[in-house]
Amino acid sequence: MATVKESMAATHQQAADFHKRVAESHQALSECFKGMCKSTLPLRDGLEGASNHHAAIAKAHEDAAAFHSENCKTLKSAVEADLNKLQRDGYSSVIPSDVPPAFGIRAVPRAGGPELPTALDKSAIDPRFRHLITTDEA
């Protein structure tokens, strides 16, 4: 099984390859429309517009391919220690860190994260909502 780093690098490589193929296809269409401009004078403006449009799309895909190629290179050369710097603390990022424990929000740890406190002071919770709070304490 591949590591996350290897999997992400492979995904970026596949995306880069896709964008390169699509860019080549749009560039070929651009050249085709450009060639048609010479032979069909009444349609020249429309065909030039189509040619320019496909050239612009090809450029966008070339830029996307370059982006993915660069990310692939960066991921392949990254050291695990560098990637570990990107990890957040062990608590869900949805729950703000300044919420008082009595508020009743429960954070869910990620695998390998620090243990969460298990004690919950139910007396601080409005009696109307105590039935919504469940703990392992019974």
Please give the pLDDT value at position 108.
Answer: 61
CA 34 to chain centroid: 37
Pair (121, 93) in one structural domain: yes
The per-type count for the chain, helices as H runs and strands as E runs, is 3, 0
User: One-letter amino acid identity for 48?
Assistant: E
Q: How far apart are CA 67 and CA 87, in angstroms?
A: 23
Please give the pLDDT value at position 113.
Answer: 63
Counting every residue, how long is the chain?
A: 138
User: One-letter amino acid identity for 78?
Assistant: A
Region 77-90: mean pLDDT is 63
Please give the pLDDT value at position 130.
Answer: 74
Helix residue spans in 40-115 (DSSP H): 44-77, 80-84
Number of domains in the chain: 2
Pair (63, 103) in one structural domain: no
> Does the predicted TM-score (pTM) go above 0.85?
no
Pair (55, 109) in one structural domain: no
Pair (77, 12) in one structural domain: yes
| pLDDT band (50, 70, 90) for residue 84 | low
Percent of the residues in the chain that have a pLDDT greater than 70, as a whole number: 60
Pair (19, 75) in one structural domain: yes
Pair (37, 57) in one structural domain: yes
pLDDT (tens digit per residue) in 18-71? 999 999 998 988 888 888 777 766 777 778 888 888 889 999 999 999 998 888
Q: How far apart are CA 23 and CA 16, in angstroms?
A: 10
Pair (59, 109) in one structural domain: no
Give the residue numbers spanning the domain of 64.
4-84
pLDDT of 138 over the 50 cut: no
Q: Which residue has the higher pLDDT, 33 or 80?
A: 33
Pair (108, 138) in one structural domain: yes
Q: Given 41, 60, 84, which residue is the final one in a domain?
A: 84
Pair (80, 92) in one structural domain: no
Region 73-95: mean pLDDT is 64
Q: Given 44, 63, 84, which residue is the final one in a domain?
A: 84
Spatial neighbors of 83 by CB under 8 A, at least 6 apart, are 4, 5
Pair (10, 48) in one structural domain: yes
Mean pLDDT of the chain: 75
Pair (30, 93) in one structural domain: no
Pair (76, 132) in one structural domain: no
Q: How far apart are CA 97 and CA 89, in angstroms?
A: 11
Burial of 91 (0-12, 13-18, 19+ CB in 10 A): middle
